[in-house]
Each structure stands twice: as C-alpha cells, then as structure tokens.
Amino acid sequence: MNIINPATGEIIKTLEADNGSTIGNKYQKLRLGQTAWAARLLSERIAIIAKFSALLQAEKSELAAILSSEVGKPVGQAVGEINGATGRIKFFLENAEKWLATELIHEEPNLKELISYEALGVIANISAWNYPYLVGVNVFIPALIAGNAVLYKPSEFASLTGVEIARLLYAAGVPEDAFALVLGEAQAGQALLELPLDGYFFTGSYATGKYIAEQVAKKLVPCQLELGGKDPLYVSAYNDDIAKVAVNAAEGAFYNTGQSCCAVERIYVHADVYDQFVAEFVKETKTYKMGNPTEEGVFIGPLTRAAQIAVLENQVQDALSKGAELLLGGKAMEGKGYYFEPTILTNVNHTMLVMTEESFGPIIGIQKVADSQEAIALMRDTVYGLTAAIYSNNEAEMKDFLAQMNSGTVYSNCCDRVSANLPWTGRGHSGLGSTLSYIGIRAFVQPKAWHIRG
C-alpha cells in the first residue's frame, strides 16, 4: 500500500496490506483472547485506556505531524483532533463503570431481577479517514473497556495513524490478542465481512455503509453505521450580529477543508438579512489561508483524496449550468497537491447537486428564503439526517424550528459540534445506532436478564 501525502501527491511510505489469510489469523487470535480480556476487572481495562490517553497526549506533536502528512489536515487542526480524542476518552473513563454495572431492577421477597451487561465478543471497527482519532475512539475505546476484542481497520487514507494507534494501545497494556490492526483497502474490509464476528461498527460513506448492512444482516449481529450528511444551517431574521453568525457558519463549512461528516453543507438565509450575511460570509472566507498544512496559519489544506476534486468540479459545473452565481473559488489549484479553492455559490436551489448531495469539500451553497417555514421545508428535503442548525435569538422560533428537524442532532446558535455527553446518531442515509454518551457505551454490550429466586 502506497501512502500518499495529499499536499504534494508524493508517496511517503509503503506499508504491507493485510489479506484474507492474515486477517483470518488475527481473528483466530482475538477469538481466543477475548474471554480473558473480558474476565479482567473493569477497573484494569479502564486503567489501561487511561494510559493510552496519556500516551496520546505525550506524543501529540509527532502524532499530529504523521496525521497531517497522510490526510493533509493543517497541523494545528491535527493537534486539535488529538485533544478532542483524549477529551472523549475521559468521558468513557469517567462513565463506563456507571453504565456497565449490573443493575438491580426489581426486588420482592424471594425474588431479584437484575440486568448485567456483557461484551459482544470480537467486533470489527471499519473506520474513515477524515477524523481517524475521533471516529476511532468513539468505537474502539468503549468497545475495549466493555471487554470486547477489536479488529480495527483504519481507512486506507489514514493507515499511518492506524499503525500509531495500535502501537500506543499495546504500549498502554492492551493485549495483542484483544486488539488487532487490519490494514488495507476495500478488500480488507470485505474480508472482515466474511468472518463470523459479533458486531460491525462502521464509519464512512452511505454507499459502503448500505453494502455492509446488507452483508451483515444475515449474521443477526449488531451493525452500527455512522454515515454522511448534507447538513443545513438557517440564519433567521432574528439576529443582532450577522457578522458573527457568518464567521461561525464559514468555520462550520470550511473547517477540516469541509471534510467533516457534520460540516455545514448548505445554508438558508432569511431575505431580510441575506445580503448582509452573504457579504460577511464572503469576507470571512477570504481571510482563510490555503496552503501546505505544515505552514503556520494555514486553515485550508488539500483534500485528502484526489478523486474528490472531480466530484466538486461536477457540483460547481452543475450549479452554474442551472443558474447559480459563483462568488468565490470554483476550481482546483494548479500544481502539486489536491487543493480546491474555498467555493461559495449563491442563487442555488434543490435541483442542484451542491444542495442535495454530500460535497465533502470546501464548497457551500447559500439560498435565500422568505421565512422560517420555507427554510424548514428545504432543510427537511433530504435523504440524510445527521445535524441541522439555526441561528436565531428568538427562543420560541428556535425551539419550534429545531423540533421540526428530522436529524440526530440539532444546534441552536452553533454548528459542526460533537459532545461526548450526547449521542452521535444519524437518521435516514446518515446511519443507524449511536456512539458517544451512555448510549454509545451500551452499544458495545448485550444485556442479560437475571431472574433470581431463593
């Protein structure tokens, strides 16, 4: 497997990919080791994961440089991702005991009814490249804490980071027969689907997620899917500081070069504040420095995958051919690396791909609406359901608006935000099941009902 630096297009490393045979061997080892791992005290597993978190912090600079070199993320954002990951681990460390403890549900003379929570067994964690630390720890940390063994397949675009994660988990004390790294592209993922695993936890695109769900269905084991989005944001007429809203919205659209599952992908603005918002949004976006992710002050790095350039170009051409207006950007940069200019399109509508299909890049459509009812109808007009945001200082409008959103997450006066305290869950083509929060701890266990007489 050639690892390519998206900032230069050059091969920076070659790794050996797994094949069906090596993956089968890793599975056998984990199948034998999982029982002993689950039999250890929960407090021991928690202590090991705490050590892993400390190692992530201790090696943060080196890890951020490696991450940046393979996904093109500006180094400051890579450091931010590792800090975010240790923050999430802290949540799991502090909450696992509470949510995994056996519960006495009912008691009467000569009868006790309890629920215990047991590990699923050996699970697959098939992951994405855009936030490999964050989306990885959402799964393999609570899975390991609960006593599962994990076959972790990082994205082929984040393999070096996968190698580092495995190294640090082992250094922290996770046994080699409780966690195994699986390197490779789709074929390696396919090999995991052919094993008799006890659960599949996938982060990635709708197309792959749907395929995995179909393959796993006949196994009758849990299958969780964290998929893409086309996340909308509405700027209501009830706003005092439109410039501030524009700064927030632009960051939500362009952070991580727009390659976030919960990036703002489409914006609707009340006609009364539309002109001012668009002017401020363009002004803010023009301040973003695009360039090599190792350079100081760079906010927009290259796209991780060269293939996405064609997707973005197609969305721009499609929109322009249907009457959109291009206010900024619109094309890839010439020269080395997979750079695409931050792009703003107005006069857009839902006949255009840019308003209906996941862009996953630094491109945004801004549509004028007459009122919040029109915004609600347009925001609900999607097959996705990850997040939806409103900026409004009218509390009644905000509550009514967000209650009508059909998405796993809703935001008032913020966007592009994930909290470990709350479930991360998509509806429709955005996925199935939840990570994070107590629900994302319980996702990795199965309940056992105890009826105790005598």
Residues that bind ligand NAD (CB under 6 A): 126-131, 135, 153, 155-156, 185-186, 189-190, 193, 203-205, 208, 211-212, 226-229, 261, 358, 360, 386, 424, 426, 431
Measured from the CB atom, is 170 or 211 closer to ligand NAD?
A: 211
Measured from the CB atom, is 48 or 151 closer to ligand NAD?
A: 151
Strands (E), 57-110: 103-108
In contact, 119 and 31? CB cutoff 8 Å:
no
Which tokens sit at 5?
Answer: 């630096």
Q: Say how far residue 343 (Cα) sits from the centre of its chain.
A: 23
The sign of the torsion formed by the CA atoms of 265, 270, 275, 280 equals negative
The nearest distance, CB 114 to ligand NAD, in angstroms, is: 33
Nearest C-alpha neighbor of 134 from the set 331, 360, 418, 442: 418
187's CB contacts (< 8 A; 6+ apart) are 19
Measured from the CB atom, is 248 or 304 closer to ligand NAD?
A: 304
DSSP string, 310-361: HHHHHHHHHHHHTT-EEEE--SBPSSSS--B--EEEES--TTSGGGTS---S
The nearest distance, CB 42 to ligand NAD, in angstroms, is: 26
23's CB contacts (< 8 A; 6+ apart) are 151, 182, 188, 191, 192, 195
Measured from the CB atom, is 291 or 361 closer to ligand NAD?
A: 361
The nearest distance, CB 438 to ligand NAD, in angstroms, is: 18
24's CB contacts (< 8 A; 6+ apart) are 191, 195
The nearest distance, CB 428 to ligand NAD, in angstroms, is: 12
Measured from the CB atom, is 52 or 129 closer to ligand NAD?
A: 129
The nearest distance, CB 214 to ligand NAD, in angstroms, is: 10
Terminus-to-terminus CA distance in the chain, angstroms? Answer: 61
Give the span between the Cα atoms of 241 and 12, in whole angstroms.
Answer: 46
The nearest distance, CB 253 to ligand NAD, in angstroms, is: 14
Work out the widest C-alpha separation in the chain, in whole angstroms: 78
Give the span between the Cα atoms of 368 and 271, in whole angstroms.
Answer: 6
The nearest distance, CB 88 to ligand NAD, in angstroms, is: 12
The nearest distance, CB 323 to ligand NAD, in angstroms, is: 27
* Residue with the shortest CB distance to ligand NAD: 189
Q: Which residues pair with 108 in a beta bridge?
A: 111
Tell me the Cα Rg of the chain: 23
Measured from the CB atom, is 68 or 138 closer to ligand NAD?
A: 138
The nearest distance, CB 418 to ligand NAD, in angstroms, is: 8
Measured from the CB atom, is 158 or 246 closer to ligand NAD?
A: 158
Measured from the CB atom, is 18 or 177 closer to ligand NAD?
A: 18
Measured from the CB atom, is 48 or 389 closer to ligand NAD?
A: 389
* Phi/psi of residue 125, nearest 5 degrees: -120, 100
The nearest distance, CB 393 to ligand NAD, in angstroms, is: 29
Measured from the CB atom, is 369 or 443 closer to ligand NAD?
A: 443
* Phi/psi of residue 51, nearest 5 degrees: -65, -40
In contact, 401 and 389? CB cutoff 8 Å:
no
